[in-house]
Amino acid sequence: MRYLTFLAFFLITGVAPAQSRLRKVEISKEISAMLPQDFTLLSDDWIARKYPAPVKPLAVYSDPNGRIDFSVTQKPSQFKPQDLKMLLAFYKANLLETFTKVDFIRQEVTQVKGKDFIVFEFVSTLADERAGSSLAPVQKYSIIEYTIQNGQLLIFTLHTPLNMKNEWQNTVRDIMASVKVQ
């Protein structure tokens, strides 16, 4: 009976899990996406700690627990949008080299909001393969999208822990399908 009361409360009040309510976020003048309402923009200091790389992401948004991240990176590119089909093999090889194991769910060039993107949806495993290491492998569910505009490669990435995949997969797909580049 308590379960029915609890369920009725959610149905009547319209309360739903936070990740199902998305809001439009302007990442730059040309880039926007729909993100969960409770995702917040990380400060430059947090980005530098979480993403130590030569090219700092343009923006990183994270859930309140810091377990799920949506990031956008922009870097110069010599390639043109018509090169995306050729680049798919290159970026796939890069993913296979980065992780211990990659199980692809999707790997294609497709349109998102009328623009061509390379899209990889996958489950990755990163294991510490040093002798004597007892660290457990890190497993994540991810979607990464690449597009090229005005001589810039734009990379959109969303990672969740693997144990949250079933709960978040539809929302992650909705977020990544909402990416708009003008």
Q: In the chain, what are the domain boundaries?
A: 17-181
**What proportion of the chain, given as a percentage, has pLDDT over 70?**
88
Distance of CA 147 to the CA centre of its chain: 14
Tens of pLDDT, residues 39-49: 999 998 888 88
Query: Which pLDDT tens digit goes with each residue over 97-134?
Result: 999 999 999 999 999 999 999 999 999 999 877 777 77
Q: What is the pTM of this model?
A: 0.85
Query: Where does residue 143 rank: exposed (0-12), middle (13-18), buried (19+ CB within 10 A)?
Result: buried
CATH H-level superfamily of 17-181:
Mog1/PsbP, alpha/beta/alpha sandwich (3.40.1000.10)
Q: What is the pLDDT of residue 32?
A: 96
The mean of the pLDDT values for the chain is 88
| Backbone φ and ψ of 147, nearest 5° | -145, 165
Helix, strand, coil abundance in the chain, percent, nearest 5: 30, 40, 30
Counting Cβ atoms within 10 Å, is residue 154 exposed (0-12), middle (13-18) or buried (19+)?
A: buried
Per the model's pLDDT, the better-predicted residue between 67 and 54 turns out to be 67
